[in-house]
Amino acid sequence: MSLLNVFNIAGTGMTAESVRLNLTASNLANADSAASSTGQTYRARYPVFEAMTNPLVPQASAEGVRVLGVVQSQSPLRSEYAPNNPLADKNGYIHLPNVNVVEQMADMISASQSYQSNVDVINTSKQLLLKTLTLGQ
């Protein structure tokens, strides 16, 4: 039954988008987490999505989406001269994450809208299935 499969597909979409939302929340929460060295500094994290295809039928349509993994942003960290900060290194600098708050907000809106469209897909399919169940009555 294809319509029941829609639940699985949209479910994988919701899972992937919620992982993305989680990472955005983590990035935003740590946007100002200072550290004494560049090694300890928080780096912006991003999910990597991949389409799930059936390996036996590669030409068929995808069966959803999965999160391959989480990567850390390679963009340069920010350094700030703050000799009074208890976390400052011996030169008086603190190191701040490479989180771009504006970019994260845009990412958050995109993720929540994609999540919502997956929820709507499930709702529509549910209505269609319920109507199919009452066929002929």
The token duo for 25 is 């929340």
Considering the complex, what minimum distance in angstroms separates the CB of residue 62 from other proteins? Answer: 5
- The residue (of 32 and 50) whose beta carbon lies closer to other proteins is 50
Where does this chain bind other proteins (CB under 8 A)?
Answer: 1-3, 5-6, 9-10, 12-13, 16-17, 20, 48-51, 59-65, 110-111, 113-114, 117-118, 120-121, 124-125, 127-128, 131-132, 135-137
CB closer to other proteins, 16 vs 44: 16
Query: Which candidate, 82, 78, 95, 99, places its Cα nearest to that of 39?
Result: 95
Q: 3-class secondary structure for 6-47?
A: HHHHHHHHHHHHHHHHHHHHHHHHCCCCCECCCCCCCCCEEE
Least separation in angstroms between residue 45's CB and other proteins is 16
**DSSP assigned state of 62:** P
CB 83, min distance to other proteins, A: 41
